[in-house]
Amino acid sequence: MLLVFKNSKSIGLTIIFFLLSLFTLFGQSKNISITGKVLESSTNQPVAFATVILVEHETKNNLTGTTTQDDGTFKLETEASNFYIEVSFIGFKTKSIKDFKIAKGKIQLGNITIEEDLEQLNEVVVEAEISKTEFKLDKRIFNIGKDLSSTGASALEVLNNVPSVNVNIEGAISLRGSQGVQILINGKPSIIASDSGNTLGTITADMMERVEVITNPSAKYDAEGTSGIINIILKKEERKGLNGSASVNIGDPSNYSFGMSLNRRTEKFNLFSQIGIGYQELPNHRKSINRDLIENTTLKSNGTEYRNETYYNIILGTDYHINENNILTLSGSFAYEIEEQPSSFDFDLFDGTERSIWKRTEETEATNPRYQYELQYKKDFDDHEDHMLLFSALGRFFGKDQSSDFNDVTLAGPDRDADQKTRTDYKNANYTFKLDYTKPYNEKFTIETGGQYVLDNTTNDYEVQDLVGNVYETDPNQTNIFEFDQNVLGVYGTAAYEGEKWGIKLGLRIENTDIETLLADTNENNDQNYLNLFPSFHSSYKLSDSYSLQIGYSRRISRPNWRDLNPFFNIRNNFNIRTGNPDLQPEFTDSYELTNIYNLGKASLNFGVYYRYTTDAIERRISTFEDNVNTYKPYNIGTNDALGIEVNGKYPVAKWLVFNGDFNYNYFKRKGEFEGTSIDFNADQWSGKLTSKIGFPGDIDFEITGNYRSGTKTVQGKTAEILFADLGLRKKVLKDKGTISISVRDVFASRIEEFETIQDDFYLFNQNQRGRFIIFGFSYGFGKGEAMEYGGKQSGGGRRR
């Protein structure tokens, strides 16, 4: 069992952060606490994310504000005495509350009903469409607006606009510059959020309500993911009657899609569904150089690979309100993809005296079925609105049936003619059972406890055949069946105190991991079992209505997945080969952070400092070189110290012009050795995003986002900097029920990723570029639905087997 705080560095930092939180106990003054619940008058349903602000009577200036929770509740605190309360939400009449009583420092407003305003629905301004960030005790919530550069975008592209989050050209997600992020859908694992297939390609911007960024998760959450958790909350229509929206898109490279969302709400049932169908082409231009510095040979390759997909997906679900305190939810989704992956690469090998040139082509076909089903039961208790019991059972499956033909044709020099075939039969099944119980003992003190059991089973049957004469023969050295079984049992408990100014949350999670791997053909197995403790600590202090402080600590784990452990590889490029490492161990991270939150009138600014210490750090791209072949795989290499700062903010210059910015810098130290050689070094990296939103006359909205990521040193080399821009343009039509839009991603085709490996005996260069994507769309909302922008999958980050 690995115990937490096993070195003096972790103990010292924990003491410092704990003392800082105790400091927040001092200097408290008498505040007024304001609570209430916002409901829609026609249906008596809660209104989530309604705006509640306190307005100074004489100056009419906003003093402070917040947004309502999913259940419509809110809580505000102020030191002011001469104010009134305004409640507003897009499409509803603003309600002013000036008659209230203060008793023992509290204003309890109870239920507040707001009425729909049809005229206001036609006067939505750009400011109401902006994505907004909200801070909680242990998370940040990014409420998705109708950002134009996300029009027709996938969840991956939406995430790239979320502060602290970056998505590279291959679809790998990093948080504050670090990968190892756990992605959840509605608070739970999902097959569409895994690394199987196209990851988040089946979720589009119109389906998303908000993104929760949890850089220091409490013990309530699964400990997986060393750099934190990203939780994507999908929309679930709650308006009474039949509502929906539909959209159609066309783009270049070839992209055609149709999507529809339907919802039917009654007193007892909420039925929801989404369907999508489309076709897309995803080209990827690649260049590589393999140079043997000892033998003085150079191999170059240059070409384009495609991922052309026809896809279908459907989501169905229902909420059954048994009574006021009991809700049963049953939902399911199914997606089916038909892939074609043609590619063509030119190879040029020069050994100093003789040149060899040949072309390698590939024709790959694959079908990918995936489905998910979930049963969830929620019980609310009468004594407190947050007293609840939640049970969920989730099952998901992903399969891939793929066949490939490779053909090498000699163009000059020695004979390189060859034919190969590969076959992949991949299956993954995952089952998650979860029980959570929340018990508030009063308005300030709450405990949470629960458990989770996850069973993950993967089988990858892979075969390589070479053409010998006129017959294809199986290559036993590259053929095997890899079986991966991982079971994780976790239990947790947290206790939280949240006063008028000060709050604290402590937690502890215990997880037992059992892993079994087997290479069936050769009967090689590698089993692991480990038990770990994962404590967490969070505290917040509100110094004034305009300034708050958050502090947090958590311990995380990043477990190797089946791809990391499987020693067999795909031969797509047989000179640049990725393979797994059966001996790979999990990495552990102690994460600390201190965040300052400022509300400066219309503007907001957040400044944070964070530190992460990682042991058994996993480097996923360590290369070895032999006979011009680069083989790279993951290794545990030493420790990593990372100290960083993060700044993000919003400044509305006017209703028609708003700026959003995000900046992240981290300095890190690597210590360790690989094959007897020290890899100790220090380096830094920074990234930034700036978005401008402009409202033009004629109901035309424009948005442009600039992105920059600096280059940085790696264990064996370096990465190059990246600078690119996205833009969008939108006009509302048909009395604002319809929307015409255009979005351009990577406007200047400058999003090029380059990696260099620089060693004493070899040099490697790799370049990837997806290119520019343009999408035209039309969407229309009916019933009480709003026009949505459904853009198919456009992930740009699909992963191959």
Classified as helix, coil or strand, 788 is coil
Q: Strand (E) positions, 293-354?
A: 297-323, 326-340, 343-350
Q: In this predicted model, what pLDDT tens digit does every residue of 304-327 receive, in sequence order? A: 999 999 999 898 888 888 888 898
Q: Which CATH number fits domain 267-768: 2.40.170.20, 3.40.50.1000, 2.40.128.630, 1.20.210.10?
A: 2.40.170.20
The first and second tokens of residue 312, run together, are 């279908």
Please report the pLDDT score of residue 667 as a whole number: 96
Distance from C-alpha of 523 to C-alpha of 665, rounded to nearest angstrom: 47
Q: What is the mean pLDDT of residues 51-63?
A: 82
Q: What is the pLDDT of residue 453?
A: 97
Name the pLDDT band for 178 (thresholds 50, 70, 90): low
* pLDDT band for position 741 (cuts 50, 70, 90): confident
- Identity of residue 226: T
Give yes or no for residue 7 having a pLDDT over 80. no
Mean pLDDT of the 210-225 span: 82
User: What is the DSSP code string of 361-411?
Assistant: EEEEEEEEEEEEEEEEEEEE-TT-TT-EEEEEEEEEEEEEEEEEEEEEEEE
Instruction: Give yes or no for residue 629 having a pLDDT over 50.
Output: yes
Task: Tell me the average pLDDT across 397-405.
Answer: 95
Please provide the average confidence, as pLDDT, over all residues in the chain.
83
- In this model, does residue 125 exceed pLDDT 50? no
747 pLDDT above the threshold of 70: yes
Checking if the pLDDT of 287 tops 90, the result is: yes
How many residues in the chain?
801
- Quick one: pLDDT at residue 753? 94
For the stretch 573-621, pLDDT in tens is 889 998 999 999 999 999 999 988 887 777 778 899 999 999 999 998 8
pLDDT digits (tens, 9 = 90+) for 239-248: 456 777 788 9
Under the banding of pLDDT at 50, 70 and 90, the label for residue 6 is very low
Q: What pLDDT, on the 0 to 100 scale, is given for residue 297?
A: 95
Between the alpha carbon of residue 440 and those of residues 381, 446, 536, the distances in Å are: 11, 4, 19
Q: What is the pLDDT averaged over residues 437-463? A: 94
Number of neighbours of residue 428 by Cβ within 10 angstroms: 22
Residue 739 predicted with pLDDT over 90: no
**Among 370, 50, 28, 336, which Cα is nearest to 190's?**
370
Per-residue pLDDT tens over the stretch 465-476 = 999 999 999 999
Instruction: Assess whether the previous peptide bond of 163 is cis (omega < 30° from 0).
Output: no
Lowest model confidence (mean pLDDT) among 59-63, 453-457, 687-691? 59-63
Retrieve residue 57's tokens. Answer: 């009577």
Task: Say yes or no to pLDDT of 638 above 60.
Answer: yes
For the ranges 182-196, 389-403, 698-712, the lowest mean pLDDT is seen at: 182-196
Give the model's confidence band at 3: pLDDT under 50 very low, under 70 low, under 90 confident, else very high: very low
Token pair of 572 as six digits: 């797509």
pLDDT at 151: 52
Which range is least confidently modeled, 204-218, 413-427, 461-475, 548-562?
204-218
Overall average pLDDT of the 480-507 stretch = 93
Q: 208-214 and 140-143 as β-strands: parallel, antiparallel, unpaired?
A: antiparallel
How does residue 400 score in pLDDT terms, banded at 50, 70 and 90?
very high
Confidence of residue 801 (pLDDT cuts 50, 70, 90): very low
Instruction: Give the residue, 531 or 89, on which the prediction is more confident.
Output: 531
pTM: 0.75
What pLDDT, on the 0 to 100 scale, is given for residue 145? Answer: 59
Query: What's the CA gap between 734 and 737, in Å, rounded?
Result: 6
Distance from C-alpha of 492 to C-alpha of 437, rounded to nearest angstrom: 10
Whether residue 252 is predicted with pLDDT greater than 60 in this model: the reply is yes
Domain boundaries, the chain: 20-123, 267-768
CATH fold for domain 20-123: Immunoglobulin-like (2.60.40)
**Tens digits of residue pLDDT in 335-393:** 999 999 999 999 999 988 889 999 999 999 999 999 989 999 999 998 887 899 999 99
pLDDT of residue 700: 87
The pLDDT score that the predictor gives to residue 364 is 95
Neighbours of 607 (CB within 10 A): 15
Higher per-residue confidence, 552 vs 190: 552
